């Protein structure tokens, strides 16, 4: 981070880590590949992992190997159903967490609270 930014205004303590994670998210986010029929990284991860190429290595905490900030790692069958429009996001959350959301209990196809916050 530039010295002028450090001294001219207050920034969150985690600013540099957050910026590094944002850069990684744009480069390596998980997307659905119709050929492979599964989630893949938009650009392949570096051979040594993200920390090997990081300007801010502390942005990947020890044990943060799941890299959930790049997008959730979903089972292939669920990713395929979402891509095909056969499963809604709130249905995935219910499947993944073993819960029945209010929208499903009421027989609705989509619930805005599930769609935005799950």
Q: Is residue 118 part of a domain?
A: no
What is the distance between the alpha carbons of residues 76 and 1, in angstroms, rounded to a whole number?
39
Cβ proximity of 31 and 24 under 8 Å: no
What are 29-51's pLDDT values in tens digits? Answer: 999 999 999 999 999 988 888 87
Q: Is residue 11 part of a domain?
A: yes
Q: Is residue 25 part of a domain?
A: yes
Q: Is residue 86 part of a domain?
A: no
Q: How many domains does the chain have?
A: 1
Q: Is residue 24 part of a domain?
A: yes
% of the chain with per-residue pLDDT over 90: 19
Cβ proximity of 118 and 110 under 8 Å: no
Tell me the two tokens of residue 5: 């930014």
Q: Is residue 99 part of a domain?
A: no
């Amino acid at each position: 981070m530039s010295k002028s930014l450090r001294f001219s205004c207050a920034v969150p303590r985690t600013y540099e880590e957050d910026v590094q994670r944002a850069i990684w998210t744009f480069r390596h986010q998980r997307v659905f590949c119709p050929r492979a029929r599964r989630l893949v990284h938009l650009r392949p991860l570096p051979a040594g992992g993200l920390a090997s190429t990081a300007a801010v290595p502390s942005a990947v905490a020890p044990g943060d190997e799941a890299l959930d900030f790049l997008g959730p790692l979903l089972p292939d069958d669920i990713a395929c159903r979402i891509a095909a429009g056969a499963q809604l996001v709130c249905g995935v959350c219910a499947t993944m967490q073993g819960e029945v959301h209010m929208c499903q209990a009421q027989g609705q196809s989509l619930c805005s609270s599930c769609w935005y916050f799950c």
